[in-house]
């Protein structure tokens, strides 16, 4: 069955430090992959998506993600974190029926 694993429940980084959030997926077909961000009490905002082509995708707010088929991974990165990046991040895979299956989320804390 399709699933998404985000191994890190919480991550704390210092402002200005680099960030990598991990995401592994399990899906039999070619995956459509997404990263969303959610601020407390808010809906989800799309950061970036991968459908095909270049495996390194650029998103909004300076984020990027790299699709690695051999590792079934789609890790999210940012070279320099800002305090406003503190939020919860969700990785998702598109599955049959145009649905999305979400990971459990990773809460990012940024310390000054």
Collapse the DSSP code of 71 into the 3-class scheme (helix H, G, I; strand E, B; otherwise coil) and give the result: helix
For residues 69 and 93, what is the distance between their CA atoms, to the nearest angstrom?
13
Map the footprint of another protein across residues 15-34, applying CB under 8 A.
32, 34
Of the candidate residues 19, 87, 103, 108, the single one contacting another protein (CB under 8 A): 103
Select 9 or 56, whichever has its Cβ closest to another protein.
9
φ and ψ at 61, to 5 degrees?
60, 25
Q: How many CA atoms are closer than 13 Å to the CA of 32, on its beta-carbon side?
A: 9
Contact between 104 and another protein per CB under 8 A: yes
Contact between 90 and another protein per CB under 8 A: yes
Pairing of strands 10-14, 106-111: parallel
Contact between 74 and another protein per CB under 8 A: no
* Site residues for another protein per CB under 8 A: 32, 34, 36, 41-46, 49, 51, 90, 94, 97-100, 102-105
């Amino acid at each position: 069955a399709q699933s998404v694993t985000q191994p890190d429940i919480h991550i704390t980084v210092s402002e200005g430090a680099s960030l990598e959030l991990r995401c592994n997926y399990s899906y039999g077909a070619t995956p459509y992959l997404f990263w969303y961000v959610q601020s407390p009490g808010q809906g989800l905002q799309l950061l970036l998506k991968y459908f095909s082509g270049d495996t390194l995708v650029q998103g909004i707010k300076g984020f990027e993600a790299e699709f690695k088929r051999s590792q079934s991974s789609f890790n999210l990165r940012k070279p320099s974190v800002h305090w406003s990046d503190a939020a919860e991040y969700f990785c998702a895979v598109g599955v049959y029926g145009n649905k999305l299956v979400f990971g459990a989320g990773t809460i990012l804390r940024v310390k000054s």
